[in-house]
A = this chain, B = another copy of it.
Amino acid sequence: MADATRDLFVKKSFVVITGASRGLGKCIASKLVANLPRSSFFLFLSRNNAAQEIVASELSTSYPGAQIGSCKFDQGHLDQNIFDTLFTDVIKKHDLNVGDFEQAVIVHNCATVGDVSKYAWEMMEVASLQKFFDVNVTGMILLNSAFFKTFSGTKSRLIVNMTSDNSKIPYPTMSTYCASKSARDMYFRVLALEDPSIRVLSYSPGPCDTDMLANVRDKSSNKEFADDIKKFYSEGKVLTCDTSADKLVAVLRKNTFKNAEHVEYDDPL
């Protein structure tokens, strides 16, 4: 690692969290605000700006002095101008100085699960399929590049890639989701190979109680798979977002994870 300071949580950070308006993203946002220095700045990005502003407001109350900005952002809306100006505009708006931050952190949490009512060979709708990969892969890469262009000179740089065991294990009716998560993992493995001074954690949060998991449970065309998820719920095996986000913080705090390698929620610390 280029940065001699191993403790990621002592650094004044500029932190971006996508999909911070609800579910796991909201929980991760909360944990990072709680654990990073109060001098840090947090930027929440999601399509639902009203919801994430409520999250920001709640966190500002719980953690007085926390500096949180939010910006309406649709990762699948691939407009060059948005990616070119997003971070510089936020920095200007909040009167920040890029050079003041010891650490740049981006949490790529935003993703869509796709249409789980369809099997792989039923993926025929051009617009929805293109949008799916725009959100889960292309838009994420573009946002990542825009971020690292802005913070290219920052000493400590950290990416949290929210992944899934779906990136490694095929599940029925999850063909495009599995494909997109595999693509993301591999993209970051290359990035980490190219610049090992950037820390990359590909964290698989386990089966969390999110709208996404409920959607798969309720809408998957594969009854056996849907029943497996129902069983997970009924047997209490579905994790709270809070529990999984705590583990993420613990993994980051320990900071011994192998760069860009897949870390599962239940892997030993």
Q: A-side interface residues toward B, CB under 8 Å?
A: 78-80, 83-84, 119-127, 129-130, 133-134, 137-138, 141-142, 144-146, 148-149, 167, 170-176, 178-195, 198, 222, 260
Contacts and interface: CB of A to CB of B under 8 A. Distances in A.
A76 to B, nearest CB: 10
B121 A142 contact: no
Copies per complex? 2
A194 B225 CA distance: 11
Contact of A187 (B120, B137, B189): B120
Given A119-B194, A126-B79, A142-B124, A170 B186 contact: yes
A33 to B, nearest CB: 26
A133 B137 CA distance: 8
A106 to B, nearest CB: 11
Given A124-B145, A145-B122, A172-B190, A137 B179 contact: yes
B146 A124 contact: yes
A124 B149 contact: yes
B178 A189 contact: yes
A192 B178 CA distance: 13
A141 B123 contact: yes
Contacts of A125: 80
Contact of A145 (B123, B179, B182, B187): B123
19 contacts: A80-B126, A83-B126, A120-B141, A121-B144, A121-B195, A126-B142, A130-B138, A133-B134, A141-B175, A141-B176, A170-B190, A172-B193, A175-B194, A178-B186, A178-B189, A178-B190, A179-B190, A182-B182, A194-B222
B138 A121 contact: no
Contacts of A191: 119-121, 175
Contacts of A138: 129-130, 133
Q: Which 4 A-B pairs have the closest CB atoms?
A: A120-B191, A175-B190, A183-B183, A182-B186
A148 B121 contact: yes
A186 B190 contact: no
